[in-house]
Amino acid sequence: MLYIGAHLSSAGGFAKMGKTALAIGANTFQCFVRNPRGSRAKAMDPVDLERLRVLMAENGFGPIVAHAPYIMNPCSKDDGIRRLAEKMMREDLALMEHLPGNYYNFHPGSHVGQGLETGSRLIADMLNRVITPEQQTVVLLETMAGKGSEIGGRFEELRQIIDQVERSEKVGICMDTCHMSDGGYDILGNLDAVLEAFDRVVGLDRLHAVHINDSMNPPGSRKDRHARIGEGTLGTETILHFLTHPALRHLPFVLETPTDDAGHGEEIALLRQLAEKA
Ligand code: FE
Ligand code: FE
Ligand code: ZN
């Protein structure tokens, strides 16, 4: 069973996202668990979460991915911004305990001139403070395009963070196809070689989810502009290689392409059809 879905709006709550996922042919999805720019967690309704949990079980959903807000920067130079990142992640992880067994993905952050050593230490320090031994959510570091002082554009950088995390069994990776290509990994020409490098540096056992996006920019551009599947520089074939690769095909795949729910539904239908034939 291929787990494929899209980033959905969380405006109507969790059960509604489950229904939207079903309506567009998805059996996983991603969402923000708070306002993407805001700092306030939305009111948590246990009944709503319970409805989603039942819907997911009845419909054979794979794990879902909660995405941390973009403003979160745990390796900022500013102590207040770092404290806010920690507060948001702690609250979000507490919420996710009502939906055990899923993922919480975040952008490692931008070190803003402090360097990789300091940046990776600040990120790991935060993880060491917020991760509890009991938690049932695995926290995912996303592979980044490496624009500006962004950490996570190289597999080695992700490894450096994980190496400093005490409960590293609660930490994994979410790949993003647009970011990897923009970051200079040749997923278009040789996915096997990229996965071998990832396995050597980080370990494929740490890979838990994949964002499937085409890219508006050429490989190595360090830009991070997503395109619809087949409308960018990666092409449908490259995305299909991820969906059908023996080392990857069991993972949840999430579209973050610039379109609406209906558009994501079309992409899901096409990818399912092509993956079945492959
Ligand atoms: Fe992301
Ligand atoms: Fe992404
Ligand atoms: Zn992106």
Q: How far is the CA of 199 from the centre of ligand 3 (A)?
A: 22
Instruction: Report how far residue 118's alpha carbon sits from residue 122's, in angstroms, rounded to the nearest whole number.
Output: 6
Q: How far is the CA of 254 from the centre of ligand 2 (A)?
A: 8
CATH number at residue 204: 3.20.20.150
Q: DSSP characters for the chain?
A: --EEEEE---TT-HHHHHHHHHHTT-S-EEEESB-SS---BPPP-HHHHHHHHHHHHHTT----EEE--TT--TT-SSHHHHHHHHHHHHHHHHHHTTSTT-EEEE---B-TTS-HHHHHHHHHHHHHHH--TT---EEEEEP----TTBS-SSHHHHHHHHHT-TTGGGEEEEEEHHHHHHTT--TTT-HHHHHHHHHHHT-GGGEEEEEE-EESS-TT-----EE-TTSSSSHHHHHHHHHH-TTTTTSEEEE--SS-HHHHHHHHHHHHHHHHH-
88 contacts: CB under 8 Å, gap ≥ 6: 34, 39, 41, 68, 69, 72
User: Which residues share a beta bridge with 30?
Assistant: 7, 65
Is-contact 252 246, C-beta < 8 A? no
User: What is the number of domains present in the chain?
Assistant: 1
| Predicted pLDDT of residue 12 | 87
Q: How far is the CA of 88 from the centre of ligand 3 (A)?
A: 20
| Predicted pLDDT of residue 36 | 57
Show the domain range for 85.
3-277
Kindly identify the ligand whose nearest atom is closest to the C-alpha of 141.
1
Residues, CB within 5 angstroms of ligand 2 (ion): 176, 211
| Predicted pLDDT of residue 138 | 98
| Predicted pLDDT of residue 125 | 98
| Predicted pLDDT of residue 115 | 97
260 half-sphere exposure, CB direction, 13 A CA radius? 1
| Predicted pLDDT of residue 66 | 97
Q: How far is the CA of 108 from the centre of ligand 1 (A)?
A: 10
| Predicted pLDDT of residue 225 | 98
Is-contact 88 66, C-beta < 8 A? no
Q: How far is the CA of 144 from the centre of ligand 3 (A)?
A: 7
Q: How far is the CA of 107 from the centre of ligand 1 (A)?
A: 6
Q: What is the mean pLDDT of each run of 10 residues along the chain (278 residues)?
A: 96 94 98 71 76 97 96 97 96 93 98 97 98 98 97 98 98 98 98 98 98 98 98 98 98 98 98 95
**If we measure between CA atoms, which residue out of 20, 18, 34, 19 comes closest to residue 66?**
34
Q: How far is the CA of 239 from the centre of ligand 2 (A)?
A: 14
Kindly identify the ligand whose nearest atom is closest to the C-alpha of 254.
2
Is-contact 18 52, C-beta < 8 A? yes
- Whether pTM exceeds 0.95: yes
Q: How far is the CA of 106 from the centre of ligand 1 (A)?
A: 6
| Predicted pLDDT of residue 233 | 98
Length of the chain in terms of residues written: 278
